[in-house]
Amino acid sequence: MSRVPAARTRLASGRTTHSLPTVRSTPMSHVAIIGGHGKVALILSQLLKTGGNDVTSIFRNPDHTDDVENTGATPVVADVEQLSVAQIADLLEGHDAVVWTAGAGGGSPERTYAVDRDAAIRAMDAAEVAGAKRFVMVSYFGAGQDHGIPEDDPFHAYAQAKADADDHLRASALDWTIVGPGALTEDEASGKIDVSTGERDGERKTSRANVALVVGAVLDDPSTVGKKIDFSDGDTLISDALEVVA
Three-class SS state of 128: helix
Cβ neighbours around 120 below 10 Å, total: 26
Closest Cα to residue 25, out of 130, 97, 127?
97
CA 208 to CA 143: how far, in whole Å?
18
Of the residues 140, 141, 158, 176, only one is catalytic, namely 158
CA 66 to CA 188: how far, in whole Å?
23
Catalytic residue status for 140: no
Q: Is the dihedral of CA 219, 179, 58, 170 positive or negative?
A: positive
CA 35 to CA 139: how far, in whole Å?
13
CA 140 to CA 159: how far, in whole Å?
9
CA 41 to CA 134: how far, in whole Å?
17
In order of 184, 237, 238, the CA distances from 232 in angstroms are 9, 12, 11
CA 170 to chain centre: 16
What is the Cα Rg of the chain in Å? 17
C-beta of residue 221 within 8 angstroms of C-beta of residue 242: yes
Catalytic machinery residues: 158
